[in-house]
Chains A and B, each alone.
Chain A
Amino acid sequence: MPEISHNAEGFPALIERLQTIGRETIAPNADSVDREARFPDEAFAALKQEKLLSAYIPSELGGLGLDISQISKICEILGQYCASTAMVYAMHQIQVGCIVHHALGDDFFRSYARDMVTHQYLLASATTELGIGGDVRSSICAVKVDGEQFSLEKQAPVISYGAMADAILVTCRRSEEAARSDQVQVLVRKEDVILTQLAGWDTLGFRGTCSCGFSLVSKGKVEQILPGPYAAIHSRTMHPFAHIVWGSLWLGLATDALNRARIAVRAEARKNPGVVPVSGTRLAEADIVLFSMRSGLQSVVADYHRLLGENDPDAFSNFGFALRINNLKISCSTLVVDIVSRAMLICGIAGYKNDSKLSLGRHLRDAYGASLMVNNDRILGQNATMQIGQRE
């Protein structure tokens, strides 16, 4: 059994082991995960071995007790080896975050958190809904409560790795009478859910996330409904957490693209000793873009980390905070495409080829997904409204 890191001192050692898993297990499978659009089984077996699926669960419940900046670092590293693996891991952590921040006051969820540690459960999310589009703050479906039991049906155009997950957190209306925006979040277990596939997942990128569409029919006990309104879970956790972990893995993807570009520049420099190739200048420029991407991410991670510690419930519901998080998303998802494109120009034909060591095809295809998952135009529209409402 590897040593489990519970604290800052153990974290560098954990990161070192993660790099080894990345090199030896994740990277060698990245191309087949992508080509076959299959779930990254090998990667997740290794991550579970390190208890990394319960990394964000507090140590008193058996988890690694890592904080958001450490989770962000893990996502970034995974993104360097396989963006699909990193995306599944990141999405899982968002769900864990929702439970850790909002539900550990309940006996059921405390016990479930312990089970997550023991069994290294993988959690998926069903937010978007047919008939609603991508507006995660609206639901048509409603949880129906009957005594101690609930039933819930949802037509979900996308549930990433839904077929592989041990549980799915589903957003829905609080009751059949509730407004579309009056939502709750419900944990449904694999054994209590029937998923009927509605749509496949043959996409340009992020192919290993297996984000098929499903009709979801489930039941369970009312204790599986997360306490509080989803609005609060969304503003404090789902929204900031998602954009931080996504931005982190896109940063990893961009970093790997520039690492490949660096190999190309070095090879060219060897051919003409003493002459700095023009691609070196291009790389220097691209590195500034990467620097800007990293700086933006780090500043938001630091803000979010601090605000979580301050425990001020109003800190997350103001427009200023939501705007910063949205800016992070739009910025990172745009810069990742820019950086990979620059890397492509530097690598030249070696980057364009699918069968070369410097191939950037997967990186480029994955990068284009970033601006579509929660479409940047939707986010920009929200920002426009919030700009009107925001006061200095």
Chain B
Amino acid sequence: MYEEKIRAIIAQHARLSVDVASLGDDSDLYGAGLTSLTTVNLMLALEDHFNVEFTDRMLGRKTFGSIKLLSEAIEELAGT
């Protein structure tokens, strides 16, 4: 449910090597240029916008691997 907003935040903060509009919700963000270090930027922006805090175990591919995974994680954290 948060996919569109996440997409906008990714466009601004994730420093991908491709246009985020060309990615599907299931596309591999790491394949699109996301790295473990650039996830920090993205994480801070997402936390700020959605007023959530990612837990330690979430800071990896299982959560940041795609827009869909991120949306599910934020839904879980926001308790919706």
Contact, CB under 8 Å: B37 / A179? no
Is B76 on the interface with A (CB-CB < 8 A)? no
Q: What are the residues of chain B within 8 A of A318 when measuring CB–CB? A: 56-57, 59-60
* Chain B contact residues: helix, strand, loop or mixed: loop
Residue ranges of B at the interface with A (Cβ–Cβ < 8 Å): 16-18, 30-37, 39-40, 43-44, 53-57, 59-62
Contact, CB under 8 Å: A182 / B31? yes
A179-B16 CB under 8 A given contacts A137-B35, A314-B62, A389-B39 = yes
Once the chains are docked, how many angstroms separate the CA of A78 from the CA of B59? 39
Once the chains are docked, how many angstroms separate the CA of A260 from the CA of B40? 46
Nearest chain A CB to B59 CB, angstrom units = 6
| Residue from A137, A181, A388 whose CB has the most chain B CB atoms within 10 Å | A181
Contact, CB under 8 Å: A322 / B31? no
Q: List 15 A-B contacts (CB under 8 A).
A: A179-B32, A179-B33, A182-B30, A182-B33, A231-B30, A317-B36, A317-B61, A319-B59, A385-B37, A386-B40, A390-B56, A391-B53, A391-B54, A391-B59, A392-B56
Q: What are the residues of chain B within 8 A of A322 when measuring CB–CB? A: 36
Q: What are the residues of chain A within 8 A of B39 when measuring CB–CB? A: 389
Q: What are the residues of chain A within 8 A of B44 when measuring CB–CB? A: 388
Once the chains are docked, how many angstroms separate the CA of A319 from the CA of B57? 10
Once the chains are docked, how many angstroms separate the CA of A322 from the CA of B33? 19
Nearest chain B CB to A181 CB, angstrom units = 5
Is A178 on the interface with B (CB-CB < 8 A)? yes
Contact, CB under 8 Å: A391 / B33? no
Contact, CB under 8 Å: B59 / A389? yes
Nearest chain B CB to A385 CB, angstrom units = 5
Once the chains are docked, how many angstroms separate the CA of A319 from the CA of B58? 11
Contact, CB under 8 Å: A389 / B43? yes
Quick one: closest A residue to B43, CB to CB? A389
Contact, CB under 8 Å: A382 / B33? no
* Closest 3 pairs (CB-CB, A-B): A179-B33, A389-B40, A179-B17
Chain A residues with a Cβ closer than 8 Å to the other chain, count: 23
Contact, CB under 8 Å: B32 / A391? no
Mask for A298-325, Cβ within 8 A of B = 1, else 0?
Answer: 0000000000000000100111101000
Is A180 on the interface with B (CB-CB < 8 A)? yes
Q: In A23-67, which residues have CB < 8 Å from any B CB?
A: none
Nearest chain B CB to A177 CB, angstrom units = 9
Once the chains are docked, how many angstroms separate the CA of A179 from the CA of B36? 14
Contact, CB under 8 Å: B40 / A388? yes
Once the chains are docked, how many angstroms separate the CA of A392 from the CA of B33? 27
Contact, CB under 8 Å: A180 / B17? yes
Once the chains are docked, how many angstroms separate the CA of A320 from the CA of B57? 11
Contact, CB under 8 Å: A181 / B40? no
Quick one: closest B residue to A229, CB to CB? B30
Nearest chain B CB to A164 CB, angstrom units = 33
Contact, CB under 8 Å: B55 / A391? yes
Contact, CB under 8 Å: B60 / A181? no
Nearest chain B CB to A61 CB, angstrom units = 30
Q: What are the residues of chain A within 8 A of B32 when measuring CB–CB? A: 179, 182
Once the chains are docked, how many angstroms separate the CA of A385 from the CA of B43? 12
Quick one: closest B residue to A320, CB to CB? B56
Mask for A179-199, Cβ within 8 A of B = 1, else 0?
Answer: 111100000000000000000
Quick one: closest A residue to B44, CB to CB? A388
Once the chains are docked, how many angstroms separate the CA of A320 from the CA of B56? 9
Once the chains are docked, how many angstroms separate the CA of A318 from the CA of B54? 13
Q: In A317-338, which residues have CB < 8 Å from any B CB?
A: 317-320, 322
Other A-B contacts than A178-B31, A182-B32, A231-B36, 4 sampled, CB-CB below 8 A, are A181-B30, A181-B34, A182-B31, A319-B59
